[in-house]
Structure 1
Amino acid sequence: MSSSIPVPPAIVFSDWDGTITSLDSNDYLTDNLGFGYDKRQELNVEMIAGRLNFRDAFVDMLKSINTPFPECIEILKQNIPLDPGFKDFYSWCKSHNIPVIVVSSGMIPIIKALLVSYLGESEASQITIYANDVKYLEDGTWTIQYRHPESGFGHDKSRTIRKYTQEMEYPEGQRPKFFYCGDGVSDLSAARETDLLFAKKGKDLITYCVQEKVPFTVFEDFKEIHAYVQDVVEGKKTMEEIMEVSTGDMEKTTH
């Protein structure tokens, strides 16, 4: 990072579906246009148990959807709400030179279309997105084009975050604080890559973190994340004070 550009006090990496959005767009498409909720939940159980990887399960979900891709985007615009606290959090981050970076196992065209719908073209264009793409097939159908097809995650978020943080340049003693926000199975690879992990209440990421003894802080929406990040950036609280769950007492969050 050039010395002429101020080093951000923090960087927030965030999952997209079910985190920045209140509902998961891919789950919505699968449940309503594909093979349905029950089959999807069966795949989720297999993924959490480690018997099926996310990459292959996600392809199965998308194969069950026969709706043309442009129609899928329009349906999602009408049915996927933005997290109620995200706009204010994003505005605060912008005003404090804090990048908000989307790291998603979803597809870039869907994320961009929804961001424009939520924030407008100008604001949406300023948010960096690392995600998968869409591949159109000769028969007119579509499927996902993975960022890391060799990985069982399809998009290995840990690799993306690690590359970003390792390539950053900053003066000694001015390292930004790194946060990650997530909710589900696709966030498993990112869970250990930042200073503080926010895991959404009641979602699969917490199950994994408890199993693997990965420290995390529970959140319900971005209003809470906003308060936590602001307290750290303003020096009101330390990371340790915000960390609700340590390696030794994670089980408390599940009861």
Structure 2
Amino acid sequence: MGSISSETPALRNNPPAIFFTDFDGTITTADSNDFMTDNLGFGKEKRVGLNKDVLYGRMAFRDSFQEMLDSVDTPFNECKEILKKNIKLDPGFKDFYAWSRENNVPIVILSGGMTPIISMLLDNLLGEGWDIQIVSNDVQSRDGKDINTKGGWSIKFHDETDFGHDKSLEIRKYSGLEGRPTMFYAGDGVSDLSAAKETDLLFAKADKDLVTWCENEKVPFVTFRDWTSITQTCKEILDGSLALKDAAKGRLD
């Protein structure tokens, strides 16, 4: 096992595996940032067009995401209340979370979204006291305004990369360690491209952009529709009844 440090907190309890995951549209059934853009910003049609520009390499994710969120001028506190009423948990995630706790498999959320929104939604969906590390972007005031005023907030990116948050940077703190745990990743969209090649098994949400990208780039993966199948696959891998190479089956339906 690699050395445990403040840079690798998921190793704290010597886990057999680490589950890295996207949040929006992966742990939840809908993407909170898409929801804000579609309903409070410039709308779905333009958002989908920008996502395609990222998917096919015509635009950096950071630039497209900034443009989407800049179209939302609703005060931040109002955004959170709207999302609380509209964003739901994947139907299988609570069981996966319980299994992960019972089996010493830490969950690390790597999100292109914003930590204050993710934390609020986890409080609402899992109840206070959840134990999940979040590595994400943040929120900042715009032009000296209060974030809870109209047009008063903007995203504060995690790093200076073209992703705004390059998820591979966190995963690589672990991947090169001698004797490291098995590493999984689950995602659905263009914010996950930086993580797609970095773990032992990639779960890509069926019918979403990440599947298209993986097939175009020949990246091994297995699809999921909800976390029920993820839980079963992880159980089989950790009990030795399923090999990692056999789990990457691509599209299952």
Q: Secondary structure at the match of 2:164?
A: coil
> Does the alignment pair 1:201 with 2:206?
yes
> What is the identity, as a one-letter code, of the residue corresponding to 1:119?
L
Counterpart among 127, 133, 136 of residue 131 in structure 1: 136
Q: Secondary structure at the match of 2:202?
A: strand
Work out the number of aligned pairs and report it. Answer: 239
> What is the identity, as a one-letter code, of the residue corresponding to 1:133?
D
For residues 79-130 of structure 1, the C-alpha deviation after alignment (integer angstroms, 9 at most, x for no partner) is 000000001101001001100110000000000000000111112xx21000
Q: For the residues of structure 1 that align with 2:220 and 2:12, how far apart are their CA atoms?
A: 32
Offset of residue 241 of structure 1? 2.0
Counterpart among 204, 223, 248 of residue 243 in structure 1: 248
> What is the identity, as a one-letter code, of the residue corresponding to 1:222?
W
The within-5 A match list for 1:27-176 is 27-123=34-130, 126-137=131-142, 138-140=144-146, 141-148=152-159, 150-166=160-176, 174-176=179-181
Offset of residue 6 of structure 1? 4.7
Gaps of 5+ in 2: 5-10, 147-151
> What is the identity, as a one-letter code, of the residue corresponding to 1:185?
V
Indicate if the aligned counterparts of 2:158 and 2:164 stay in contact, CA closer than 8 A. yes
Offset of residue 204 of structure 1? 0.3
TM-score (norm 1): 0.90
Q: Secondary structure at the match of 1:190?
A: coil
For residues 148-175 of structure 1, the C-alpha deviation after alignment (integer angstroms, 9 at most, x for no partner) is 1x21100000111112444x6xxx6x53
Gaps of 5+ in 1: 246-252
Match of 2:233 in 1: 228
> What is the identity, as a one-letter code, of the residue corresponding to 2:208?
K
For residues 118-146 of structure 1, the C-alpha deviation after alignment (integer angstroms, 9 at most, x for no partner) is 111112xx210000000112133100000
> What is the identity, as a one-letter code, of the residue corresponding to 1:154?
G
Q: For the residues of structure 2 that align with 1:41 and 1:206, how far apart are their CA atoms?
A: 16
Indicate if the aligned counterparts of 2:223 and 2:252 stay in contact, CA closer than 8 A. no
Report the aligned-residue RMSD. Answer: 1.7
Match of 1:249 in 2: none
For residues 25-81 of structure 1, the C-alpha deviation after alignment (integer angstroms, 9 at most, x for no partner) is 000000000000011111111111111111011111111111000110111010000
> What is the identity, as a one-letter code, of the residue corresponding to 1:80?
I
Q: Report the identity percentage.
A: 52
Q: For the residues of structure 2 that align with 1:236 and 1:201, how far apart are their CA atoms?
A: 24
Q: For the residues of structure 2 that align with 1:231 and 1:254, how far apart are their CA atoms?
A: 17
TM-score (norm 2): 0.90
Q: For the residues of structure 1 that align with 2:175 and 2:127, how far apart are their CA atoms?
A: 28
Q: Secondary structure at the match of 2:193?
A: helix
Distance change (3 Å), C-alpha of 1:229 and 1:254: closer
Q: For the residues of structure 1 that align with 2:12 and 2:79, how far apart are their CA atoms?
A: 40
> What is the identity, as a one-letter code, of the residue corresponding to 1:53?
A
Q: For the residues of structure 1 that align with 2:82 and 2:237, how far apart are their CA atoms?
A: 38
